[in-house]
Structure formats: C-alpha cells, structure tokens
Chains A and B, each alone.
Chain A
Amino acid sequence: MSFVKEIDYGTPASKAEKTVTLSVDGKQVTVPEGTSIMRAAMDAGIEIPKLCATDMLESFGSCRVCLVEIEGRGGTPASCTTPVAEGIEVHTRSDRLDAIRKGVMELYVSDHPSAWNEQRGTGASEFDHVAEQVGLTENRYGTDGRNHVEPGVAPGEGSLNIDYIARDESNPYFTYDASQCIVCSRCVRACEEVQGTFALTVEGRGFESRISAGMHEDDFLGSECVSCGACVQACPTDALREKTVLEQGMPDRSVVTTCAYCGVGCSFKAEMKGDDVVRMVPYKDGKANRGHSCVKGRFAWGYASHKDRILNPMVREKITDPWREVSWEEAFSHVAGEFKRLQEKYGRGSIGGITSSRCTNEETYLVQKLVRQGFGNNNVDTCARVCHSPTGYGLKTTLGTSAGTQDFDSVEHTDVVMVIGANPTDGHPVFASRLKKRLRQGAKLIVVDPRRIDLVRQAHVEASHHLPLKPGTNVAVLTALANVIVTEGLHDETFIRERCDWSEFEDYAAFLAEPQNSPEEVEKVSGVPAETIRQAARLYARGGNGAIYYGLGVTEHSQGSTTVMAIANLAMLTGNYGRPGVGVNPLRGQNNVQGACDMGSFPHELPGYRHMSDDATRDIFEKMWDVKLDAEPGLRIPNMLDAAVDGSFKGIYIQGEDILQSDPNTHHVAAGLEAMECVVVHDLFLNETANYAHVFLPGSTFLEKDGTFTNAERRINLVRKVMEPKNGLADWEVTQRLAQEMGLGWSYSHPSEIMNEIAATTPSFANVTYELLNSEGSVQWPCNDRAPKGTPVMHIGGFVRGKGKLIRTDYVATDEKSGPRFPLLLTTGRILSQYNVGAQTRRTDNVVWHHEDRLEIHPHDAEQRGVRDGDWVRIASRAGETTLRALITDRVAPGVVYTTFHHPDTQANVVTTDYSDWATNCPEYKVTAVQISPSNGPTDWQEEYEELTKKSRRIAGHMEAAE
C-alpha cells in the first residue's frame, strides 16, 4: 500500500533567477533569491516545525513555532518570513529554540483540546505532528480553557464552558469545530489567496478570536463559501475537517488521478481505505490545478457508489416492457445480433455510435474504431457536437489546429483578459481562481456576456468593461471590436505581415471598415453602447498581453463557428499568439471534450483531425485494422435523429451521453429514438435516454479504470484505477467485448496498449506513452520528436497551418427571433454545484446548493407579467413548453431570461429549437424566443414524462424503479 506524500515547503517558490547560497545546520543549500529560510531548509531536507505556514499561501508569521537562529544576528526570527541571504548560517535547533517552541506549543495546547469524542483527533492533524516534533510532554496550564468542552461530555449536555461554540455542521462535506482552532488564519488566507472568494474572516480578539464564514450570524452553508475545500486542506488542526475523515478515519493508501468533471482536468489524490474513497485531495503537482479544487471534484464523488447505479446488463424487447437483467454474454450477443440484423435489413449505414466526452481517450478511440472497423461506416459522433464543434471548425480553419493555444499557467503572464460567453466561476471554477488571482495582481478584465456573471463584479475583482450583448449578436460585437482596432490603427502590423497573408488582411480590413461593422451600428443590434465597444477594443489591443477565454456562449449559436473565427482573427490582428500570457482558449465543458475530438469521434475525421477523404490517413488505419474504410463522412447526431425519423437509421450504441436531456428540442430527440429498433445505452445510471433504450450496459466510473483524459489545455492526464469496477468491466472492456462479439479480433489487455495504437497512427500523439505520462505527470500534445515533452504554448514562430487565416465574419441575425408571441430571449448556462445534465451531481449532497433549475427574469419583465419571486412560471417557445420557478434578478437584462439545465424534471431542452451552427450543426442553445406566464405547476408534458420515466425504469424482480 502506498500513500502519496507531498512535501510542504512552507512558503511558495521564488521565481527569481538569481540564486543565493546559505548554510542550514551546516548544510550548504543554493536557492533562488527571495526564498524563505523555511523553504531553503526544506530544500536541504531539514523540516522546521510550523503551524501557520504552508506552501500554497504567502507567509504570515503568526504562530512563532518556526523560529531559527542566524549567526551574527540577534533574536530568533521566524523562518517563514525571513528571506535567505548570501552566506548566512542558519541554525534550526538549539536549546533556546527548543524551549521557545515547547513553550509556544504548550500555550496552544492549553486552549486546544482533543475533540470531545476523540483522543488524538483523526491523525490528519499537522498540529499533533508538530507537538511531537518539538517534544511537547507537559501542559502546565490545564485543559479547561474557556472555549473547551468538558472532556467526555457531548455538546449540548450541560457542561459547556463560557466561550464554547458548537460545531458548524451546516456544510454537507466538512465541519468547523471552533474549539480545535488555533486561529493561524490559514483557512482565511486560502479562501482569499487560493480560491479568491473572501468568505472567511477572523472575528473577535484574544481568546474570543474565531474563524467566521460570512457575517457573524452566518454558518458555512449560509455564507458566500463555495465549498472548494481550500480551507479544509489548509487547516493544520481538525477544526476544519472532511466529514468522511471524521467518520471513517484516515485513509491508508492514495493514488493520483484526474477529476472527471469539467475541462479544467484537476489532478487529485484519491485517498482510500480498502476499496472505499475517504476523500479526494487536490494534488499540488497537478499542472492544471496546482493544488486547488472545486466543490465538484473535491467532494461530489459519492455518485460512484450511489444506490441508483445499475450494475447488471439489461435487455428488453419493447421500450414499454420492464427491464430484464441478463448476463454480459447474453447482452453482447443480443446487441451484436440486432446490429447485424439491422444492417442486413436496412443497409450498412443504418447504425452508428456516440462516443462520450466523459470517458477516457482510449474508450473513445475504441468506440469510433468499432463504428469504422466493425459497422463499416462513419456514423460516429460525440457530445462535443452540441458544445465545442464550432471550436474545432473555427480554430482549424484559422490556425490549423482544433485546440486552445495555451496552458493554464499562461494566465499568470496575461495583462488583459477577455472572457466571452463563459462563466468561469461556475463552469470552470479552478481556472477562475487562477484568473482572479491574476486580476487581483492588476490584470484588466473585459466580459462579453448577456448576463452579469460573477466575474463582472465580486470581492476584489471588477471588470473594466462589461459588454451585455443581446443573445445572438456575438459576431456583430466581435467584428465591431476588430473594426475599432483596424480603423484606429491599433493592430500589430509587424505580426500580421510576418504571420498572416497581407492581402487577406487588406481584404479583411476593408470588410471591417464597412459601415455596418462600426460600433455605432452594432450598438443598434447588440444593445452594447458604442463607446463601451471602443474602450474595450482599445484596452484589448494596447493593454499588453491579451488573452481570450471563451465558452459555450460563443459556440452554441447559428453563427458559432463564425464567432470562433472572429475571436481567432481578433487575436491575430493584435499579435496575441505564440508566447505565454496571450492566445485563444476555449474553456471545455466536459473532462474529455478535447480528447473525444482528438480521438476521431467526429463522423468526418479520423484521430488527429484528418478528414476521411484523405487517402494517406485512411491507408494508415486500413493497414492497422485490416479493413476497407468508408471515405465518405458519416451522420452527425442531429442528422442521425433526422434519419431515424425518416426511417433510414435504426440502431445506435451510446456510450456515456444522455442525448434526451442534453440535446435540443427534446420532442424531436424522443421521436428519433423511438423510431429506432435497437438503442443501446452504456451508462452509470438509467438516464433519460435509457427511457427509449432496448439494451442497457452498465458503465464504470473514473475511479474504476485506467486511461487518460485530455483537458482544455491539450494536457493528457492519467486516470488511474483506484478500485475494481463495481459492474465488473471497465468501459473499454465493454466496447472490446462487443467488438469481439461482432467478429473483430481485438485483444487489448490494458488501456496503455490502446494508447500505443493511438501514438502509432496519430502524429500529434507520436511520443505519448504511459511511461512518459508516469514520469512527466502529464504532457500537452503535440508530443512527438519535435516536442518530446509536449507543447505548452502553440503557434510559436508560426501557425500550424502556415499563415494565419483572416476571414470575413459577416454578422447574420439568427432566424430564432423574438416577436409578439415570443417576446423574450432565453439563454442557458450552468451553476457551480451542478454538472451538465446533473446525473452525477444530483446524486450527491451538492443538491443543497441547487435542487431545482430556476428561471432568472428581470424585475421589469416579471412585473409586466405578474410574476413574483419563487412563483411557478410557464415558459413556452415555438418548440415546446415547460414550467419552473422564477428567480427575479437584474443579472439578466430586460428582454432576456436565463436558466440552467441540470434537472430532468425541468426539461429546459423541451423549449430549445432545431436551429444550429451553419458549419457544424452545433445547436443554438443560447438563443430561444420565449414567452413567460404565471403557472400553477408542472405542464402535462412534465407529468406524462415523469410517468414514462417511472415506467421505463422498472426492472423485473425489483420492487420499484431505480430512482
């Protein structure tokens, strides 16, 4: 059993280039200038006892335990706040130091009892370790301090001391026990410096000093606390402690792995006891998260062992039948038989598959391989279709590669950040914390979003400009920004001449200068004041290193691909490519959206973004797979559904995606699924799509398999198996067994062999192996002979496609227009505590923060319709209607309403339409014309649907439906 031990150096690393040599207890050590003595000592292998210091935080100097002596200097300075100097001789042990440390610790102990039902805490406490380190043996002051509970007496049983405060158990995941607190402020500083929320403070003085979340009357749950866990991680005592640790005790082994939630791709240590996860702790060496986490990755992993998980394969003849549990053998032979039957009856192209952005690269690769090699067609697509397919098309067209240009560390060098159609504090919280840290250091922020997202103004962060555009006008606003840059001569001519095609620039500049692209004209369609557009453009062009981060508010539009190209153009005009601090960075929704796209999940291309029609690429795979590949593009998800309704598409294998809930126009998705003869759902839970399935194959969680995820920075991170699959087979094994049943001779014994095949066929992955990932921790593709350890920043010295392409970006208004019947525009988004369709997070205690989707509506629009806060409202569009409760807020502009789509009973996608991006068919989720009216409660559809769900979840031999 191994336990991953991370060294705490006590203070952050100095980035100085100049070095200094000193001696610590006689050992010579050379460190960068500005390093603390504490850190230098740790570099030399000497651990100085400490309580208020930790290397995730700036030094503070309050605990007086880390004192040292320096030859020739008086006193006993704190080693955490004293920087190194050339030639000094430091002593960390002496009789005087020992005596002082013991004295300090004895005072702490006198006001720091063991918790009321524990003798020595949980073993997680650094405090106990320090007490041992300094050799504390006595406590002459007694343990009946004013804030203690009497030993052995439970709180609330009558013998509390005057200042005793009961534990705060309000947060579902951790407790705060004031009597354990030594007021070192590590939690307060973690909340400020690492997370950037500023929810915690110290209130009172002396013995009355207490950590307080929010105002005095708040508890943790009621405060602004976002439950990221940074304070719990920082706490050196058991004052802030994970409830699972208190309940189960300390874990005895740990494994470094990668979070399966958003596209940030945080590294965690899964800390285990036997086959149970005790806690997930962010890993400091994780290059995406640098030791930080959010409430989802840190705490919301309980779904993995939720009772709703289906662990046996199931089959049914008709979707109205109850499910019948079967053996894996029967399930595979049934699916293979059905797929063969359908192809014989309806043709080779009548079946297809969907890969999952939640599964590993290796699993995704296998699903597209099954479709191409086994089904003999290219009908494979992925959920990226409905989120970032325009990023793929737009960045490939302009830059030559379908990926973000930077690593997350890059933000530390950014001077101006433009956030477009993304809400990082909710959708990508760990990146948001890193971004906010940079903003607090003085970088400027421009937010382009219809809604006043948290970043626009919150503690110690304020956007210089917020462009609250009308949904659907992204292209107009971005083109207007470019208009200002070019017409005011703010563009970087040297860069453009060197890196782009000058005649294309001239053409683009002429287009930009056309009157309809001026800020004044664009103000009329977008609602953004012309002057704000001008100022934002000037700041971005001339404010130093400019970096653009964008999300689904960019892609999920009729002009999604055009917007991505407009963004790429904007960065080209201003020379913002090819160095740290700049670039174009799509924030990816799911953990492996980038990877799913890289692995050839799209129907028109093989792994590495190579079109099916390319003979040389097909040849590589044809030789490797011993098969003739179809050179024609296959069907995309919406096309599959259309073809199903039309009768030419009959069977589908869906791995880890819930298209019924996540895809637009639910009625159309349902009609498509209903028209198919064999729908195979491979998932953890009986999701909404499974209501229409004939076969259910149980899936495995990220804790139960080996593989890799690729995050938004193109970083390939290892996912490591920490427990056996509860369903018996990892997802890659399920696909392999199905392929074998269909007659394919696959024989992978470990996902690393799949990665070897990917590397052998895909130039940008050429040097990727599990050995390399194990030794480097992670690498960013391209990783090949030209970049053996990967590529943190792309397009250095030149674009992948050669010259960067500047392309005309004509604004075309969407046909989804508001009018008399549907006067409001609905746009959708996410919230911090829930993830995507909620299948995972709804099955955790995260529901305490968000247990239903609400409709945000401006007070003006609400009053006109007689809607009060909390009222049920009916929301109707041209596609359908649903009901949910209203939340009245001026975060949305008049004329705009907003909701999340985390809960299936709301079915927000009943109202979204069939409109989609012109280039990729990515749905236009972000604009739907709607009308709102007061309502008594759920619609007939919602009630019927609930009934259908209950019915379709019946399992023969089980008492009731699974959910």
Chain B
Amino acid sequence: MSHDAETAMNTDQKLVYMANQIATFFKSMPEDEALAGVAKHINDFWDPRMRRRLRELIDAGGDGLLPLVLSASSDVRWPEPAN
C-alpha cells in the first residue's frame, strides 16, 4: 500500500487548507468584501467543532494560514471552547 504519508493531510492541515482555499476565492475582490466573504463562508458552512479548532489553530500562531484568513477571523462567529 502506498498511502503517501507526506501528502496525506490530517484534520488540522485540512482545516488550514480549506480556509486558505476560501480566502483564495475571495482575494480578487475589494478588501472589505473579501473579509466579509471569508468570514460569512466559514460561519455558514463550518460546523462549530471545525470553527473551534480553527480558533485554536489561530491562537497557536495560525501557521500556514493566509493573511486574509487571519484578518477575516475577527468576523467569524467563534463557538464556546470545548470543555
């Protein structure tokens, strides 16, 4: 079996990748629209545990996230941290 360890993403890597994909779509728009677009998309389509994990990743430095995701994060509706 040649499941390629170096390219298979874990959930954290996928969240970062997906957030960046969203930002990449909106980045050709004017900045305010792009920021609102990224935040709304994540609010509309990501279940709370995905958003919570993204928050944790951002709090831990946000490695790998595009600047647009980081800037948009203030408009994302962050769920309560897991207990």
In the complex, which of the residues A642, A648, A812, A880 contacts B14, with contact meaning CB atoms closer than 8 Å?
A642
Bound complex: CA A163 to CA B49 (Å): 77
In the complex, which of the residues B7, B22, B43, B48 contacts A918, with contact meaning CB atoms closer than 8 Å?
B22
CB A801 to nearest CB in B, in angstroms, measures: 16
If A880-B1, A940-B1 touch, whether A562 touches B49 (CB-CB below 8 Å) is no
Q: Are A632 and B7 in contact (CB under 8 A)?
A: no
Q: Are A914 and B14 in contact (CB under 8 A)?
A: yes
Q: Are A633 and B47 in contact (CB under 8 A)?
A: yes
In the complex, which of the residues A603, A639, A918 contacts B21, with contact meaning CB atoms closer than 8 Å?
A918
Map CB proximity to A onto B16-48 as digits: 1 under 8 Å, 0 otherwise. 001001101101110000000000010111111
Bound complex: CA A310 to CA B11 (Å): 36
Residues of B within 8 A of A273 (CB): none
Mostly helix, strand, loop or mixed at chain A's interface? loop
Q: Are A878 and B47 in contact (CB under 8 A)?
A: no
CB A401 to nearest CB in B, in angstroms, measures: 17
Does any Cβ of A come within 8 Å of B4's Cβ? yes
Residues of B within 8 A of A645 (CB): 11
If A379-B47, A603-B47 touch, whether A918 touches B24 (CB-CB below 8 Å) is yes
If A562-B25, A632-B47, A812-B24 touch, whether A879 touches B1 (CB-CB below 8 Å) is no
Does any Cβ of B come within 8 Å of A511's Cβ? yes
Q: Are B28 and A808 in contact (CB under 8 A)?
A: yes
In the complex, which of the residues A643, A914, A918 contacts B8, with contact meaning CB atoms closer than 8 Å?
A914
Q: Are B1 and A810 in contact (CB under 8 A)?
A: no
Count B interface residues, CB 8 Å: 27
Q: Are B45 and A918 in contact (CB under 8 A)?
A: no
In the complex, which of the residues B22, B28, B29, B44 contacts A611, with contact meaning CB atoms closer than 8 Å?
B44
Bound complex: CA A511 to CA B4 (Å): 38
| Residues of chain A from 807 to 849 with CB closer than 8 A to chain B in the complex | 808, 810, 812
Bound complex: CA A773 to CA B24 (Å): 45
Residues of A within 8 A of B9 (CB): 914
Residues of A within 8 A of B1 (CB): 667, 880-881, 940-941
Q: Are A511 and B28 in contact (CB under 8 A)?
A: yes
Residues of A within 8 A of B25 (CB): 561-562, 810, 812, 918-919
Does any Cβ of A come within 8 Å of B66's Cβ? no
| Residues of chain A from 629 to 670 with CB closer than 8 A to chain B in the complex | 632-636, 639, 642-643, 645-646, 648, 667-668
Bound complex: CA A920 to CA B41 (Å): 10
Residues of A within 8 A of B28 (CB): 511, 808, 810
Residues of B within 8 A of A916 (CB): 18
Q: Are A633 and B44 in contact (CB under 8 A)?
A: yes
Q: Are B22 and A667 in contact (CB under 8 A)?
A: no
CB A669 to nearest CB in B, in angstroms, measures: 13
Does any Cβ of B come within 8 Å of A604's Cβ? yes
Q: Are A558 and B11 in contact (CB under 8 A)?
A: no
In the complex, which of the residues B3, B29, B79 contacts A667, with contact meaning CB atoms closer than 8 Å?
B3
Q: Which residue of A lies closest to B44 (CB)?
A: A604
Does any Cβ of A come within 8 Å of B50's Cβ? yes
| Residues of chain B from 31 to 76 with CB closer than 8 A to chain A in the complex | 41, 43-50
Does any Cβ of B come within 8 Å of A349's Cβ? yes
Q: Which residue of A lies closest to B79 (CB)?
A: A632
Does any Cβ of B come within 8 Å of A876's Cβ? yes
Does any Cβ of B come within 8 Å of A613's Cβ? yes
Bound complex: CA A69 to CA B43 (Å): 76
CB B40 to nearest CB in A, in angstroms, measures: 10
Residues of A within 8 A of B43 (CB): 613
Q: Which residue of A lies closest to B19 (CB)?
A: A918
Q: Are B3 and A880 in contact (CB under 8 A)?
A: yes
Does any Cβ of B come within 8 Å of A526's Cβ? no
Residues of B within 8 A of A349 (CB): 47-49
| Residues of chain A from 898 to 918 with CB closer than 8 A to chain B in the complex | 914, 916, 918
Residues of B within 8 A of A59 (CB): none
Q: Are B45 and A808 in contact (CB under 8 A)?
A: no
CB A344 to nearest CB in B, in angstroms, measures: 16
CB B70 to nearest CB in A, in angstroms, measures: 17
Q: Which residue of B lies closest to A914 (CB)?
A: B9
Bound complex: CA A511 to CA B46 (Å): 30
Residues of B within 8 A of A639 (CB): 47, 50
**A–B Cβ pairs within 8 angstroms, 5 of them:** A349-B47, A349-B49, A632-B47, A812-B25, A881-B1
- A-side interface residues toward B, CB under 8 Å? 349, 378-379, 511, 558, 561-562, 603-604, 611, 613, 632-636, 639, 642-643, 645-646, 648, 667-668, 808, 810, 812, 876, 878-881, 914, 916, 918-921, 940-941
